[in-house]
Structure 1
């Protein structure tokens, strides 16, 4: 079996066999092995016409087994009896209770374990270690190895760390054993959640804007889009497990940078609840897909105010104060299963603080970061962001909400409001 990486977009006749491997956590972490723990392989519903996956997310209902096997001492897969009724194998933080009872009996009856081995610490040691995606009808059959990277009560996330070619008639035992041997430099990016991401373009904001023309309330809209993603209506995207939705509100004071030409843009002071400010600095000569964005968190403003702070900290820049605003935003955090890129679907409502009542509502689609995986590629960010924006536009149209897609920024909105006030 030779190791290499290849992206397969799937196609007619393609079938992907999916196997959930439940085993001792010592297969993934540096732990003393639990010798009584079996290696259980649950055959899940296959996918037809499916391509490669950077990530895959399994909820409890997705873990129902069509077949169950156990690896014996010689790493051969031995079939176990199936439950009389379909049942999930892994739910939340443990093996499904009914499945555990069935598994205990099936292991003993098959002769693959003693009664003492499956009633004590053996089954308690099991967890979702990896998900194998075997492309059985590809010209060269191969298996993607996706290791478990996040476990939540709502579901389990797996990330591709390797793939390997093998013979079309390779046995399940051979495939599982080979998968366990796949050495990868991604190991600590997968098993340590804090290491899971990278950002391809530091200090660069990449986002599209969809400005609502209709007076549509943003909370019902956010819930509608969130539900649509959860229900599979945004093909190829899943919500970020355990971090699906974030909400925010803040007061913001705005200053346009007028000069020099290579520094023009927008500085925004966002006031925190404790009175300290978060300074967001954006540099762009015109509304565009990419803009330089840097931050100064925890800024304390002395008695000479915001203008005094800017004059002291940025003496080479020329500023013009723009209207302040209040901003409420609801962010749906999503991941692409094919590219591993993470995006925000960020719906916000901006209201000027001058008492005029002028406001703007937008849905922004923004690149956030990329989940580290085998085959990751920053060149696919723009295309995947565009596809996500297409889906947002289609969802708005389905709700009968008129909107304009473009790059219209908060700075342009504030400029337009200032110009109309000066007339």
Structure 2
């Protein structure tokens, strides 16, 4: 499966004035084994090494350039690699013209990694996936599939790139505007599996170990979210169980913030399960931290009992599936009860977060990918020799187990 990285004036993707004489350069990358399609592909600097380079003329015809004398990474995080820029300056010079050290710099500065083409040969009907650049960070560039098209076996490079440019506007504003890049399926529903640690373990060391494993390719089909790989959290939480009515039972929790206000997290579930209703109220002012008074006033038809509060520290590795575009959290947390017992629970939660918008989005694969991710977490824990139990054991069940049985 051939992969081609297209460098072009960003005016091909954004509404900016084009730069005169900016070339379109097509870089042949290392081919990929197999025929699997990709919703997203992430290229670090070392993944952009050129095997061959071509340039497109104004009519869309492709001309192969003399190859670099040695393998060159083409993209260096925020701009073209300096050595690759020098190579292009020479390779694009008119025949018989010695390139000036500053010649063409403006036109080359206009270039960015606009598009990645994945051409699948050996199929009954060869086809090319068109992935547009959706995120650039110093550590790499992320591309998302916006379309795919079939073509003949003998389609030349110029024809493929020209056709791809015609498809580039599909899903355009979901690709070029980062705030539009995601869709969350199943509104107000938390979808989450739990792996409860039986052995004592440092959750920080475990998080770093799993993060390294994902980066090293030990979680096949998953990559970390570029520029948002790790997030760290801390909560002080005051907990209440909803006892009645039956269709409202669940767990309400007040989480403190530094402004002296609270966020109320409301979960509705009759038993520990993969899916639970989860909604929030934010920015609450509760004088004297009188949570009972607030609940009685705001939810007069519900019956509550107070459970122990706790402190919670959580380290999240944010990952996404390259085949489905679904984004997940690998969330390692440690809960410490605020009562005199100081009892602890440590878990690794795998949670569906959202889906990166792409051609061929499919919500039916969420559960399968979540389960596969949880299995990879289990395997990693086993390699570390950490005993754990996979299930759906919730914080509410933990608090119940630490308290006297409710009088129902």
Q: Structure 1 length normalisation: TM-score?
A: 0.93
CA 21–313 in structure 1, closer or farther in 2 if over 3 Å, else same = same
Give yes or no for the alignment of 1:120 onto 2:105.
Answer: yes
After superposition, the CA RMSD in angstroms is: 1.8
| Partner of residue 44, structure 1 | 29
Secondary structure at 2:234 match in 1:
strand
Secondary structure at 2:88 match in 1:
helix
Q: Where in structure 2 are the equivalents of 1:21-170 lying within 5 Å?
A: 21-108=6-93, 118-170=103-155
C-alpha contact (below 8 Å) 1:251/1:325 kept by paired residues: yes
| Partner of residue 247, structure 1 | 232
Secondary structure at 1:380 match in 2:
helix
Give yes or no for the alignment of 1:341 onto 2:317.
Answer: no
| Partner of residue 283, structure 1 | 268
CA 106–304 in structure 1, closer or farther in 2 if over 3 Å, else same = closer
**Shift of the alpha carbon at 1:31?**
1.7
CA 201–113 in structure 1, closer or farther in 2 if over 3 Å, else same = farther
Distance 1:94 1:77 in 2: 23
Secondary structure at 2:15 match in 1:
coil
Distance 2:370 2:261 in 1: 33
**Shift of the alpha carbon at 1:182?**
1.0
Distance 1:65 1:185 in 2: 27
Farther-moved stretch of structure 1 (57-66 vs 412-421): 412-421
**Shift of the alpha carbon at 1:120?**
3.3
C-alpha contact (below 8 Å) 2:263/2:281 kept by paired residues: yes
Give yes or no for the alignment of 1:234 onto 2:201.
Answer: no
Secondary structure at 2:8 match in 1:
strand
Secondary structure at 1:354 match in 2:
coil
| Partner of residue 300, structure 1 | 285
Distance 1:60 1:409 in 2: 41
**Shift of the alpha carbon at 1:304?**
6.8
Gaps of 5+ in 1: 1-15
Question: What do residues 79-105 of structure 1 show as CA deviations (whole Å, max 9, x unaligned)?
Answer: 112221111001110000011001100
CA 390–196 in structure 1, closer or farther in 2 if over 3 Å, else same = same
Secondary structure at 1:226 match in 2:
helix
Give yes or no for the alignment of 1:368 onto 2:346.
Answer: no
**Shift of the alpha carbon at 1:139?**
1.3
Gaps of 5+ in 2: none
1:223 to 193, 201, 208: 208
Q: What is the number of residues matched between the two proteins?
A: 407
C-alpha contact (below 8 Å) 2:324/2:365 kept by paired residues: yes
| Partner of residue 13, structure 1 | none
Distance 1:421 1:141 in 2: 63
| Partner of residue 8, structure 1 | none
C-alpha contact (below 8 Å) 1:162/1:184 kept by paired residues: no
| Partner of residue 329, structure 1 | 314
Q: Structure 2 length normalisation: TM-score?
A: 0.97
| Partner of residue 309, structure 1 | 294
Give yes or no for the alignment of 1:195 onto 2:174.
Answer: no
**Shift of the alpha carbon at 1:119?**
2.3
